[in-house]
Structure 1
Amino acid sequence: MRALLVDDERLALELLQQLLENRIGGVTVIGSFTNPMQALESVRELQPDIIFLDIHMPGIDGLKLGDLMQESLPSAKIVFVTGYDQYAVDAFELNALDYILKPPHLKRLMKTLERFRESRPKVLETGVGEPLLCCFNQLQYLPDGRMPQALKWRTGKAQELFAFMLHHRDSILDKEALIEMFWPELETSRALQYLYTTVYQIRQTLKHSGIDQIRIVSGSFESGYRLTTGNLKLDTEEWKKRILELGTPSMLNAVNYEFALDLYKGDYLSEYGYVWAEQEREHLRGLWLRTARMLNDFYEQHRLTAEAIRLNLRIQQRFPYDEECSLGLMKLYRELGDPEGIREQYRQLGSRIEGELESRISAKVRTWYEEWERSGG
């Protein structure tokens, strides 16, 4: 995230920069200005993602400066920082991302960055203009790394064969094995003709979509096909790399954890329900869940109860039958002194486990809840 800071007080700038770069992380301050007019002149050249702007400055009103900056660079988000709360309404009339009081506190600043992250399109960043092939939820192509487009397949069989080849990219897939999988009911000669036709349709779709990085070549002695992706990146692979590079959760990288979790836009090829993709689908789901639980443990250890509740609700949305998550939420609501929250969680869990799965809530969860009720709720 590229940030530009504007404040007529040098010490205020240094404090904000230290919080953003050293305490939170994931933010690069590309410009720091005490002169508001110099900042305005530089904003288009520097192209910041987010601008932290003091409202009360000599020479020009910060609200007016924010208006001019939005005209100059509409894509940048404005955050007003001031010691006076009387400007809040005017600030939000300018469509500001946020409004925070001086001196900025770490937790409050983290919420601002979270709001920034939520305001951005949930597209994996691979670099400016780099194309990306999406496999979360459904197959899509991002030619410029920004705007996804659906691939137009001649037949559902062509779509699945391409997805299967992509799943096994860089490996030679035997033609006989492909026939057995996709056309088991046909005679070999006729099935081969269907295979050749479908491969041709895939190549045509890739050509018409402008995807020239992907190649489907015949294997040794033309016994099979091998699909290669060249320098084209897959969102699932890039997401896994990002997750594995996160390190241990801390105040410095909690925002990076949250952003990485946001980038998981749906299960692997889930819209199609391909059985052969189930192992990878479960692998990625499990990786998301383990990452979310690591961050939750960090939140709970540091008594960030509101953040932990919000995160557990996200986990529950993706894993509605996870009893550990429901139990965790009940314990968090107990910390907040919210008995109705506890009862609602238990009721919802019972509805899902007993009503939908026709099973029983585990003894562990039942025992905890019953002991809590006996203690007076």
Structure 2
Amino acid sequence: MRALLVDDEPLALEYLKKKLEYDIGGVNVVGLCSNPYQVVGVAVKQRPDVVFLDIHMPEMNGLELGEQLQAAVPHTEIVFVTGYDQYAVRAFELYALDYIMKPVRLDRLRLTVQRLRERLQEDPEASGKAKTPLFLCFNQLRVQLPGMEPQTLKWRTNKAQELFAYLLHHRERTVDRGTLIELLWPDFDVSRATQQLYTTIYHIRQTLSKAGLTMIRIIKGELEAGYRLTIGGARVDVEEWEQRLKRLEAIDLTNAEEYEQVLDQFEGNYLGEYEYLWAEYERERIRLLWLQHAENLARFYMDRGKRKAAIDVNLRIQRQLPDREETYLTLMTLYDSLGDASSVEEQYWLLATRMRELELAFPPRILAWYEQWKQQTR
């Protein structure tokens, strides 16, 4: 468990750190903050599971800081620590996990840590994810609000949708105003294009506000040089998918099901429904990650003689990447190993049809395999 400790008294921080790391154990203190104005930045960087937060600090009220933390890192639990019990009701209005009185007793702190462990075990990905909006970028740009079905936002214009998608693509980074103008209004003079940009930014903010996405902000850069989209605690499905993919261990019988789940989560190309040329590099990168993952899973099944499972994975590859010649050959050999001649013929016919549509010659290697197979099956 990763913990960030916040208190204006350095001795109190060291005391709590010792209790958590040595007396209780299993807690990794990733930061000690005595300056409340640095807390949110440290939390965003470290992504702790919990923040132990002193309420009574001279420069900033801990409850106000708790609200800022909830907006910036909503997956992080908050435990308030203070010597003033009149804050208890307000603390729990903020959905704090717990509330500990000073001086901190070891037995009471141990109960809090146990509650934290139970909460984190409820959702290994991170407790609280269900409470935050999720942007869906596989195929079509949509948003899923907590407890609701995914919805497509009602953009004022196609330019507004593309501008938002571009800023989301470059989230947390300032994009130069000239870049945005060149992307969306390349044929306009600078004055007119600038006005169009201002107006479109206004419409995007209105759309986000009406959808209840108040944590999404478009911030004007220094000297009005550009714009930066910050998403607060919102999530992006493609980013979460890639993170889950990278966390996978080498495939074996114990995690093959999780490999299948990650394969299924890829619901279409990145922003695949839109002809955004600027998204093509990312689209191809994500697609290749998925392909590599799918091939690893198919190879695992083939090595263990699970030919039907390998066929299923390769059919999914074929649906996603119909121009990939190698998949047709792999399926032909798998069907042949099962004695399914009609499916071998079907794969040959599908590839031949595809090659004619693309006005390409039939791949010689696959043709040679097919002709040899035909001779053997006569």
| 1:280 aligned residue | 282
| 2:375 aligned residue | 374
The answer (yes or no) to whether the contact 1:127–1:145 under 8 Å persists in 2 is no
Displacement after TM superposition at 1:149 (Å): 1.3
| 1:235 aligned residue | 237
The answer (yes or no) to whether the contact 1:216–1:225 under 8 Å persists in 2 is yes
| 2:267 aligned residue | 265
AA aligned opposite 2:325: E
SS at match of 2:129: coil
- RMSD, matched Cα: 1.5
SS at match of 2:146: coil
| 1:331 aligned residue | 333
Matches within 5 A, 1:1-377: 127-144=129-146, 147-353=149-355, 355-376=356-377
- In the aligned structure 1, how far is the partner of 2:251 from the partner of 2:147? 28
- In the aligned structure 2, how far is the partner of 1:153 from the partner of 1:250? 45
SS at match of 1:258: helix
The answer (yes or no) to whether the contact 1:289–1:315 under 8 Å persists in 2 is yes
Point out where structure 2 has 5 or more consecutive residues left out of the alignment: 1-126
User: Scaled by the length of structure 1, what TM-score is found?
Assistant: 0.65
- In the aligned structure 2, how far is the partner of 1:185 from the partner of 1:341? 53
Displacement after TM superposition at 1:140 (Å): 0.9
The answer (yes or no) to whether the contact 1:126–1:132 under 8 Å persists in 2 is no
| 2:68 aligned residue | none
The answer (yes or no) to whether the contact 1:132–1:145 under 8 Å persists in 2 is no
- In the aligned structure 1, how far is the partner of 2:148 from the partner of 2:281? 29
Taking every aligned residue pair, what percent have the same amino acid on both sides?
48
Distance change >3 Å, CA 145–CA 312, structure 1 → 2: farther
Displacement after TM superposition at 1:145 (Å): 5.9
Moved over 6 A (4+): none
User: Scaled by the length of structure 2, what TM-score is found?
Assistant: 0.64
SS at match of 1:225: strand
AA aligned opposite 2:224: E
| 2:102 aligned residue | none
| 2:6 aligned residue | none
Kindly tell me the number of residue pairs found equivalent between the two proteins.
Answer: 252
Which structure's relative contact order is higher, taking Cα pairs within 8 Å and 6+ residues apart? 1
SS at match of 1:128: helix
SS at match of 2:262: helix
- In the aligned structure 2, how far is the partner of 1:317 from the partner of 1:223? 44
Displacement after TM superposition at 1:343 (Å): 1.3
Distance change >3 Å, CA 279–CA 233, structure 1 → 2: same
Displacement after TM superposition at 1:187 (Å): 1.8
Point out where structure 1 has 5 or more consecutive residues left out of the alignment: 1-124
